[in-house]
Amino acid sequence: MKSWKSAIWAVMVSVSLPLGLVYWCTNLFTCLLLGVWVAAVLAFSLIYNRRHFEKELRIQEKSLQQAAIRTLNHHRHDWMNDLQVLYGYIQLGKPDKSVQCVERIKERIALDSRIAKLGIPSLVFYIQSFRTYATNLELDVQVEEGLQLEDKLTPEMGNELTSVIMQTVRTYQYSGLSSPGDTRKLRLGFSQDGGDILISFEGEGAHGNPELLQGQIYNIGQGKIMKAEQFGTNDSFVALRLPLDM
C-alpha cells in the first residue's frame, strides 16, 4: 500500500520539473513540455490506479472463494459425521437413537434454511462461515420462523446491519474471562417485535466488566440504523432493535 502511494506521489511531484522550467523560461516549448508532462502523469496515474484496484479486487475475490471453500468443507465434514453416527445406530439396531439422530439433522437443516431466508448475503455468509474460524466463541443462532429481511432493507442497510452484528460478536469474543483453550457460547437470536426486528445477544461465561461490555455495544450502534435498547437481568444480555418503518 505504501509503495503504491509513494509511486503516485513521486509521479505527481515530477510535474514540478517542467513547471519550474515554465517559471524560469516561459516560451512555447516549455509550455508544450508542461502540457505533455501533465497529460502523461494523469494517464500514468489513471492506469496505475486501475491496475492497483483490479489487483485488490482479485485478492478480495480469492479470499472470498477460499472462505466459501472452507465453509463448504466444514459443512460437508459435519454432515459426514452425522451420517456416520446414523449409520452406526442403524447397524446396531437402535431405532430410537436413529430417530433422534434424524431429528437433529432435520433441525440443523431447518435452521440453515431460516438463516438463508434472512436474505442478506453478507449476513448469511458471515453466520454460515463463522464456525470455520478457530475462535474461542461458539455461535448458537436462532431465527424466528418466516423472518425475512431482504425485501425490508436496502443493500446498504443490510451491509450496515451485518457490520454491527460482526462488531458486537467480536466485542463478546474478546470480553470474556475464559481460560486459554476454553470455548464460550454466544446465543444470537433474530425475531420480529411488531414492526421492528430484534437481534439479541446472550453470552455464557463470566465477563470482566459487564458495564464496559454494554457501553462498547452501545457505542457500536451510535449513528447506525439499529440501537442498543434493552439490557436484561443477565449482565451479558443485549437486545438491538431495528425499526423497519424508517
Task: Walk along the chain (246 residues) and give the pLDDT tens digit of each residue.
Answer: 555 556 556 656 666 666 666 567 767 766 776 677 667 767 777 777 777 777 777 776 676 666 777 777 777 777 788 888 888 988 888 888 888 888 988 898 899 899 989 988 889 989 988 877 767 788 899 999 988 888 888 888 888 889 999 998 888 888 765 555 567 888 999 998 888 888 988 887 655 566 777 778 778 877 777 777 765 566 678 888 888 765
Beta bridge partners of 139: 186
The angle subtended at Cα 214 by Cα 213 and Cα 217, nearest 5°, is 90
At 73, give phi and psi (nearest 5°): -65, -40
Report which of 8, 12, 13 is spatially closest to residue 53, judged by C-alpha positions.
8
User: Would you state the cell numbers that stand for residue 129, as one nine-digit string?
Assistant: 462461515
User: Would you state the cell numbers that stand for residue 91, as one nine-digit string?
Assistant: 447397524
pTM: 0.69
The angle subtended at Cα 125 by Cα 118 and Cα 213, nearest 5°, is 85
CA 205 to chain CA centroid, nearest Å: 24
CA 171 to chain CA centroid, nearest Å: 14
Report which of 142, 139, 146, 212 is spatially closest to residue 173, judged by C-alpha positions.
139
Q: How many CA atoms lie within 13 A of 66 on its CB side?
A: 7
Amino acid symbol at 180: P
The secondary element (H helix, E strand) that includes residue 30 is helix 28-91
| CA 129/CA 153 separation, integer angstroms | 22
DSSP annotation of 48 reads H
